[in-house]
Structure formats: structure tokens, C-alpha cells
Amino acid sequence: MFGFHYKLERKAISFTLAIIFVASIGGLVEIAPLFTIQQTVEDAPDMRVYTPLELAGRNIYVREGCYACHSQMIRTLRDEVERYGPYSLAVESKYDHPMLWGSKRTGPDLARVGGKYSDDWHLAHMINPRDLVPQSIMPDYARLLRTQLRTDDLGRHLKAMRTVGVPYTDEMIANAASDAAGQANPDGPLAEGVIKRYGEATNVRAFDGRPDLLTEMDAMIAYLQILGRLTDAAHRAVASSGE
């Protein structure tokens, strides 16, 4: 065995070329399907983008490592569909950079959590999970309620997302900070602009119960409440299949 290995070492160039060839096979298998991506990703004409507040909440979700315990990928297995709802479609994550599908489930999958619980439920759960789920091992995030959300850089976040294909307009980018504040204050003067730019179905309310102060808790709850609701494609797919 060692004699064969010594022969390979004496032919370093040939050995290197062989490694590149074998590795390229794996690369080709991964890259080739991307050329047919338009045929494999479902069509979702009703797909909408994250609002600045929801995007900020997603950034906090990533910052806090929530994806390490919660997946956002419902598989096509019967028990998963019965527990969480329609299985996940690729198109539902087309504006997620990076995508957060995952496979680790210390906590439940969150792909369809949007609208499942009230804002008050999410608020109480984030402050102390064990008040609602006694057996929970989730850490508390009460500090989000005490932390004012930074909004001066939200326009740059939207602009960065546009560079990777998210269709944010110049108007959306220019009004990112005011739209974040407006979405969490339904009676304020900025709420109308949010509806104008993101649609009538946009959740506009005081997510943490305090419209006078924009907090990271507002952003987190706004993000959780939109999960699985950026498009209705998954529900349409289930309806068309007759299930």
C-alpha cells in the first residue's frame, strides 16, 4: 500500500490533476442544476419583499443564532405537514440571503409561524419562554424590549439586498428608516407610506405594545409574523394537488 502511495507522490502533477478532475465531478453535480433554476423554482407572482422592519427582525434572528435551534423547512413527510402545515417551496426563500432552511430542531420549525400566534403571545414568549411553554429550554430575550432599534443603516441593508436580486425600489431604500417606524406605529403619520410601498396586506401595528418607541422586539415579532406569508404559493400547491 505504501509503495503505491510513494509512486503517487513522485508524480505530483499527475496526482494533482487527478484530484482536480475528481473534485470537479462533485462541483458539476452541484452547479449544473443552477442552469435550469427557472424551470425548477415555482412561480409566485404574489411574492412580496420584506419590509425594512421585517428585514431588521430577520437580521436580529440571525444575530441571536435562532437558526441554530429552529429550522424553516417543512419536509414533504406526512407527520411534518400535519404538524407544521404545507411543505416548504424553494420560491418562499427566494429573497432570503442567506436562506435559513436548516435541519436542527431543538425548538419547533418556524416556516409557517406567521399569524399562528398573537403579538402578545410572541412578546410574552420572548420575555420568558417558560411562562407559556414550561418545558422550554429557550433563553429569554427580554433585552430586545429594552433595546431601541437602529434604523439609520436600514437603507443600506435594503440596497445590499437589491444587489443580490431582491427588487427593492429607490423609493423603498430612501424611506427605509421612516417605513420601519411607521410599521410599528399604526396611528402615526408614517404608517400610510408603508402601506403604499409594501401593500395593503402589510402588518402595521405596535408589535411590542408600545407605539411610542421602536425596539428590536418590534422588529423580531414583525419578522416572526410574516414567516410563511410572503406568498401563498405553498397553499395553492396543496390545493391544486387535491390534498
| CB count in 10 Å sphere of residue 136 | 15
Establish if 227 belongs to a structural domain: yes
How far apart (Å, rounded) are the C-alpha atoms in residues 185 and 209?
10
Count of domains for the chain: 2
What CATH number does residue 149 fall under? Answer: 1.10.760.10
118 residue type, one letter: S
Query: Which positions of the chain have pLDDT values less than 50?
Result: none
Establish if 46 belongs to a structural domain: no
Clarify whether residues 182 and 150 are in a common domain: yes
Q: Which residues of 67-97 are buried (b: 16+ CB within 10 A; e: fewer)?
A: bebbbbbbeeeeebeeebbbbbbebbbbbee
Establish if 126 belongs to a structural domain: yes
pTM: 0.84
Write down how long the chain is.
243
Clarify whether residues 32 and 133 are in a common domain: no
DSSP string, 85-151: -SPP-GGGGTT-SS-------SS---TT-TTTS-HHHHHHHHH-GGGT-TT--PPP-THHHHSBPP-
Cα radius of gyration (the chain): 22
At a CB cut-off of 8 Å and minimum separation 6, what does 28 contact? none
Clarify whether residues 101 and 31 are in a common domain: no
Clarify whether residues 123 and 26 are in a common domain: no
Clarify whether residues 34 and 146 are in a common domain: no
Give the tens place of pLDDT for each residue, 6-64: 777 777 788 888 889 999 998 888 887 777 766 667 788 889 999 999 999 999 999 99
Closest CA to 221 of 132, 131, 145, 140: 145
Q: What are residue 215's phi and psi, to 5 degrees?
A: -120, 170
Clarify whether residues 31 and 79 are in a common domain: no
Q: Confirm if 91 and 41 have CB atoms less than 8 A apart.
A: yes
Q: Confirm if 44 and 229 have CB atoms less than 8 A apart.
A: no
How far apart (Å, rounded) are the C-alpha atoms in residues 188 and 218?
15
> What was the pLDDT predicted at 33?
75
Q: Confirm if 208 and 120 have CB atoms less than 8 A apart.
A: no
Quick one: residue 105, left, alpha or beta (phi over 0 = left, psi -120 to 50 = alpha)?
Answer: beta
Clarify whether residues 63 and 176 are in a common domain: yes
Clarify whether residues 117 and 216 are in a common domain: yes
Establish if 47 belongs to a structural domain: no
Clarify whether residues 71 and 20 are in a common domain: no
Q: Confirm if 180 and 51 have CB atoms less than 8 A apart.
A: yes
180 residue type, one letter: A
At a CB cut-off of 8 Å and minimum separation 6, what does 84 contact? 74, 108, 109, 111, 112
Domain holding 145, by residue range, is 52-241
> What was the pLDDT predicted at 242?
59
